[in-house]
Structures are given as structure tokens and as C-alpha cells.
Amino acid sequence: MSKINKVAVIGTGVIGVGWIIRCLAHNKIVYAFDKDIKLKKNLILEIKRTWPFVKKLFNKKKLNLKNFHFFTSIEKTLNNADFIQECATENYSLKTKLMNIIGKYAKPNSIISSSSSGLLPTRIYSKCKNPERGLIGHPFNPVYLLPAVEIVPGKKTSKKNLNIAKAFYKSISMNPIMVKSELPGYLSDRLQEALWREGLHIINEGYATTEELDRAIEDGPGLRWSLMGTFLTFHLAGGKSGMKHMLEQFGPALKLPWTKLKAPKLTKKLSLRLISGTAKQAKGKSIERISNIRDQYLVDLQKLRSKYEKKIRG
């Protein structure tokens, strides 16, 4: 298959909109599907809200909305698409049925990618025509700015189609992470889930508020993580001997009962602490206002980070 220019996005929630914006920013023709035509207005408003940030990050001059097409018919959405990005709710039954429909109407050689956050592709594509073209393309919110995408194969996914998907994601300025084989939760969400669960325990037991836990990451590990991950960070923690000394010095702490991997029960009391805590952190600012601040930060941070990434990874 030659370079992919025609992309269908199935579902226009937060993730679907993110894919649409990113593809439009890279001059792709986008066919979006949702059941309710009223969603088109909100979608265009979100495209326009995010465009100043997208424009700055990808050095684009203007937005071409002529490349954007909205349909309430899934068949019409899929007719000409070379790449299909499905963004439905995280539910096996729903996604399996949807992939069965997509498989019927999609071109035989079009790639089908699910934006699942942790479901197994083999199961999702179990009733899909030509399952060798089915895979996971797990992005991170906001999709229109963050470059990571985890590509996860099912048992029947062909290497050829994985390579096509990898090339497509690179063409929209993403950095694909090729997961070797399917596993629940993939890579990043398993790490995030562990941090989330531990945070819930700490809040549930009254040791800290949501704001205090966020600050513990924002002003500490989070600053390092934006340039290098856990393992290279710990390599530096070992001094001149690197990871070898780090494991000798801190390895024994793994036996200490510091963490609780099993999630606490999400009681009404714990839920209230989370809801009231994050509302307090927002300080009356709307979701849109905070999203704009976050987006500007991510643009500036990525431009700064690129200067240092080359020195470490080059």
C-alpha cells in the first residue's frame, strides 16, 4: 500500500476528536463517523480550540477543514478509507460487534486499528473479516499533541500490516512503541495503573490529598520522566556504576511492604475525596481553561525536550 492519506475515525469522543485533529494537521483526508449529526458542531469547535497549539507544535500555517468529512453512516465513512481508527467505548462486546461491521464495509486491504487502552486485539477482531489487518493503536490524551502510540498485534496480525501502521503513525509525527505481543493493559497503562492504585490507597487512608500527591509527582519524578523514563533515571541513581550499584543498594527495598498493588474499594467516601480534591485543585477554572494551559505547556515542553533528547538518544 502506498502512503496513507485517507483516514476513517469511528467515534468522536475525546480520543476520536484527538485523532481527527492530528490527522488534519498532517494533511490527511478524514472521514469521521458518529450516530448523532449534532456532534459535528461540537467537534468543529474543539478543532478550532486546539488549532493554535497544534499549529505551533507542527509548524502549520492554516487549518484546511475541506479535508474533514462527517458521516452518520458507517458504510459511507469506510468506503474510501485506507486506514481506520476505531474509538468506541472500552467494551469487548461492543468493539467485537463493531469490528464485525467495519470488516464488512472496509476495503479488504485497509488497516483497522483500535484505540483501546487495554483490551486484547485477538478477541476484539475475532469476528472481523481479514483479522490479519487488525491491531491496537493506543494513543495518549491529548492525542493531537502527545507523540506516543502503542502498536499491539493480535495473534493473526501480519508483520506487513504492523509495518504499514508504524509508517502511518510516523507520518503524523508519532513515535510508535511496538509491543511484542498482546497483554492486558499493554505497557504504559499498566505502569499508570500501578501509580493510580497506590495513590488511591494513600488518599483512602488519609495520608495525603489529591493535590499533595500530584505535587509529589509534578515537582519530583515527573520532571525527570518528561525526558527519561524510570529505568534510565534509576541507572543514574547508581552513580558511576549505574544500574548495577542501584540494584545492589536499593534492590532489597523491593521486599519491604511499601506498596499495595490490589486496588482499594471505590467507596462513596473515597470517591468524594477524589472529586472534592480535584475540584479544589482546579480553583474554579473550567475544563476548557485548564486544557488550554496544559496544551500550551505540552507544546513548549516538547519543543524544549527535543533539544535534549538528541543528546541522550543520538
Report the interhelical angle of 287-313 vs 39-58 (nearest 10°): 30
pLDDT exceeds 90 at position 310? no
Q: Is the pLDDT of residue 228 over 70?
A: yes
Residues 54, 147 within the same domain: yes
Q: Are residues 244 and 115 in the same domain?
A: no
pLDDT at res. 75: 97
C-alpha cell belonging to residue 123: 478477541
CATH of the domain at 260: 1.10.1040.10
Report pLDDT digits (tens) over 157-179. 999 999 999 999 999 999 999 99
Q: What pLDDT does 44 receive?
A: 94
Is residue 114 one of the residues assigned to a domain?
yes
Provide the domain count of the chain. 2
80 and 213 inside one domain: no
> Is 197 in the same domain as 96?
no
Structure confidence by residue, pLDDT tens digits, 122-160: 999 999 999 999 999 999 999 999 999 999 999 999 999
**Percent over 90 (pLDDT), the chain:** 89
For residue 310, is it within any domain?
no
Residue 313 above 90 pLDDT? no
Is 210 found in the same domain as 98? no
- Domain containing residue 235: 189-283
- How far apart are the C-alpha atoms of 278 and 297, rounded to whole Å? 19
What is the Cα–Cα distance from 205 to 192, expressed in whole angstroms?
20
Distances (CA, A) of 37 to 16, 50, 99: 15, 21, 22
In a domain, 299, yes or no: no
The predicted pLDDT at position 25 comes to 97
Per-residue pLDDT, 123: 98
CATH number at residue 138: 3.40.50.720
For 25-79, the pLDDT digits (tens) are 999 999 999 999 999 999 999 999 999 999 999 999 888 999 999 999 999 999 9
> Is 217 part of any domain?
yes
> Is 300 part of a structural domain of the chain?
no
196-220 core/surface letters (b: 16 or more CB in 10 A; e: else)? ebbbbbbbbeeeebbeebbeeeeee
Q: In what order do the strands lie in the sheet with 83-86?
A: 68-71, 29-33, 6-10, 83-86, 111-114, 134-138, 148-153, 175-178
Average pLDDT for 11-34: 97
In whole angstroms, how far apart are CA 282 and each of 11, 215, 291, 311?
A: 28, 14, 11, 36
Give me the mean pLDDT over the 274-293 stretch. 94
Predicted confidence at residue 261, as pLDDT, reads 85
Q: Is residue 163 part of a domain?
A: yes
127 and 194 in a single domain? The answer is no
Report the chain's mean pLDDT, rounded to a whole number. Answer: 95
Query: Are residues 117 and 226 part of one domain?
Result: no
Judge if 133 and 226 occupy the same domain. Answer: no
Asked whether residue 146 is domain-assigned, the answer is yes
Which are the contacts of 196, defined by CB distance < 8 A and separation ≥ 6?
none
Residue 1 pLDDT more than 60?
A: no
**pLDDT at 185 exceeding the cut of 80:** yes
Task: Determine how many CB atoms are found less than 10 A away from the CB of residue 187.
Answer: 15
* In-domain check, residue 309: no
> Which residues make beta-bridge pairs with 111?
83
CA 198 to CA 260: how far, in whole Å? 6
Determine the average pLDDT of the residues in 89-106.
97
Residue 307 or residue 91, greater confidence? 91
Of 178, 198, 227, which residue sits at a domain end?
178
Domain identity same for 161 and 248: no
Q: Of the residues 178, 203, 224, which one is the last residue of a structural domain?
A: 178
Which of 178, 205, 222 represents a domain boundary (last residue)? 178
